[in-house]
Amino acid sequence: MIEQRIASFPAWAIAGYLEPQRGHLAIDGVDAIELARQHDTPLFVFSESRIRRNIERLTRAAREIARPVKFCYAAKANSTLAILRAVRDAGIDIEVNSGGELYKAQRAGFRPNQIIFNGTSKTEAEISEAIVAGIYAINVDSIYEIELIERTAERLGRRARIALRLVPEVETRSHPGLQTALLTSKFGISAAEVSEAFARALARPELVHLCGIHIHIGSQTPDVEPFARAFEAVWRHLIEIYDRTCHAIEHINLGGGFPVNYLRDRSQADALPAHEREMLEADLDPAEVLREVMRVAREEARRARADHLLDRITFLFEPGRSIVADAGVLLTTVRNVKRRPETGDTWLLTDAGFNLLLSMSTYHWYYHLISAERADAPHDMPYKVAGPLCDSGDVYFDIERQGRLPDYRLLPRDVRPGEVLALLNAGAYTVAQMFAYNGRPLPAIVMVRDDGCPRLVRRRDSYEDLLMNELD
């Protein structure tokens, strides 16, 4: 009976979490339309239980390889304090990318040995804060940064733990803007400088302790092979440094990149080019990645007769998107409807623009759109959907005709002003990047707790908040 009920759900639905109930979209059993009435729109809604389930999927994968694995949630995906606390309570650690994210991680209750610090342009103040906090590792992005950390540690009379971020020159089938492991990217230390970087990192052991190597191949990676190739590149450097110095690395950080399936509902998949479609519908199991990395690790260790080194290694991963993307929904209300007799188009103008969905503008990212009021109705009517901003690029379709977004969105017939829509899989890189363009106050955020009770975790900005830091 349950299987029959699930089979009748819309393709976008996730049983027990995201599903139609009495015609409306329900999020963990909570009526989305009632939330919109209580808190107005645009409104972000997150599921604590979905975050926990996504983390459990990762920790189950780690158990399969019977090796020490440390997951550090990438706070850049969404650093809302309630999200960070949910992640902490689920039992994993955190990766931060700025002094602000470090501050929020500490406020959320993460211990120093749970925190790693990434970034290409760390300030001396941020490095000082990380060293004073005594965090697990600062991921170093250049030789210059090693020197900066040394100077800062010496001034503070403290010792810093560091890991070197290397460029493995591994390409993935992800979006070009998410490729971070190529020499053409801005990240990391290239192969030509690796030896010098290691020598520099080991020169002042009283000030810095080289505890790890870090790489990151990019986000939304649909294949397992790039992870394995990146590990091979890192392992060679680890062996090289051990042979020259007898210094054993404690951990290898393979970054994040586990993908999210943005195309559970494939009704508009054919409107996307093949490479975009394959990336957006990627459903790579983290367990497959960990098993393949471990297989390569064992093979490489045997080949180099370095099993003793592998036995000491903890594997680190920095998942972000895979933890919060499908745990968040953005509710938006249709505020205006207009028809173009000349083109035959019907336009829906909503209250959620690219100031809340920056990736939809910068990367032409696809977020599936449904009616939250008629969630179980046929979605077969094409509309042009756009946000409220005074900008021609504030649209939910492919204005540049590159074929990277559908030209129309499919919704029920006769959508009218006041109808609430929902953008799915909107939990990652939305809230973290939103901004008050056109003087639009930033939206509220609701978290549906594990007990099924919705709680306001970020109030909606007021007009007065727009002036908060301005001096009159």
**453 counts as catalytic:** no
Token readout for 410 is 């499919």
- 249: closest CA among 161, 317, 190? 161
Task: For residues 352 and 82, give the distance between their C-alpha atoms in angstroms, rounded to a whole number.
Answer: 22
Structure-token match 């559908």, residue found: 406
Tell me if 318 is assigned to a ligand binding site: yes
Token readout for 430 is 């939305």
Cβ atoms of residues 267 and 11 within 8 Å: yes
In a 3-state reduction of DSSP, which class is residue 23?
coil
User: 432-447 burial, b for 16+ CB within 10 Å, e for fewer?
Assistant: bbbeebeebebbbbbb
Tell me if 257 is assigned to a ligand binding site: yes
Strands 30-31 and 24-27, sheet pairing: antiparallel
Tell me if 341 is assigned to a ligand binding site: no
Proportion of the chain in helix, strand, coil states, percent, rounded to 5: 35, 20, 40
> Of 72, 211, 390, 453, which is the active-site residue?
390
DSSP string, 393-456: T-BSS-TT-SSSS-SSEEE-SS--TT-EEEESS--SSSGGG---GGGPPPPEEEEE-TTS-EEE
Token readout for 239 is 């062996």
Task: For residues 60 and 266, give the distance between their C-alpha atoms in angstroms, rounded to a whole number.
Answer: 28
Residue 15: partners with Cβ closer than 8 Å, 6 or more residues away = 6, 9
Backbone φ and ψ for 394, nearest 5 degrees, come out as -85, 65
Tell me if 378 is assigned to a ligand binding site: no
Cβ atoms of residues 347 and 339 within 8 Å: yes
Tell me if 344 is assigned to a ligand binding site: no
Binding residues for substrate are 321, 363, 429
Binding residues are 257, 318-321, 363, 429
Give catalytic residue positions.
390
Binding residues for pyridoxal 5'-phosphate are 257, 318-321, 429
